[in-house]
């Protein structure tokens, strides 16, 4: 086997993302175990939240997406799989799913679980979703010209992440659920 076929390659951003996803998997497993034992001495302050059927579905889908992302990240590290478009598409699809599910959990948990009082919840900004959106933007080539491609990627990254931040600001506005 030649030396180049055995090389493992990855950039620092994707590696850091994979480490974050690995931590998310570990914490998800801890949460799954913790919610399975409600009679612990300390107790989980979020046990009621995690026991909600809608939240359970969202968290299960996120866990599957995290695992999928990590598996396809590892596959893309090897030259053998790097050229396969289906591996790349599945990798990007899992990144998009993670980003979407984070926002959907924010929406579902704050609207249907807590009701219309989201402004008091102190909900955090889904940072991992912005990283995933940025990953998707930077994995796609938009132009053959390197400078033009870089410019497009920078502009798209700025616009989409600014848009996500603005969208997050809407969480603290009162929603009229009768319009939904």
As for how many domains the chain has, the answer is 1
Q: Which residue has the higher pLDDT, 46 or 106?
A: 106
pLDDT in tens, 36-65: 555 655 666 777 777 788 888 999 999 999
Give the domain extent around 60.
4-179
- Return the CA Rg of the chain: 19
pLDDT in tens, 131-154: 999 999 999 889 899 999 999 999
Residues 6+ apart with CB under 8 A from 82: 9, 76
Q: Which residue has the higher pLDDT, 109 or 118?
A: 109
- pTM comes to 0.79
Task: Please give the Cα distance from 62 to 129 (Å, whole number).
Answer: 12
């Amino acid at each position: 086997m030649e030396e180049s076929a055995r090389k493992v390659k990855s950039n620092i951003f994707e590696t850091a993302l994979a480490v974050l996803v690995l931590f998310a998997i570990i914490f998800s497993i801890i949460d799954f175990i913790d919610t399975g034992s409600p009679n612990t001495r300390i107790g989980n302050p979020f046990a009621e939240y995690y026991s909600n059927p809608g939240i359970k579905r969202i968290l299960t889908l996120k866990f599957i997406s995290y695992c999928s992302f990590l598996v396809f990240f590892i596959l893309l590290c090897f030259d053998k799989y790097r050229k396969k478009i289906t591996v790349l598409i599945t990798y990007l699809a899992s990144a998009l799913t993670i980003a979407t599910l984070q926002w959907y959990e924010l929406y579902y948990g704050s609207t249907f679980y807590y009701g219309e009082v989201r402004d008091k919840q102190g909900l955090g900004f889904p940072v991992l979703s912005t990283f995933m959106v940025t990953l998707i933007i930077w994995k796609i080539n938009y132009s053959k010209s390197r400078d033009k491609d870089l410019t497009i990627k920078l502009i798209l990254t700025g616009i989409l992440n600014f848009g996500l931040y603005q969208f997050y600001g809407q969480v603290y506005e009162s929603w009229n659920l009768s319009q939904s």
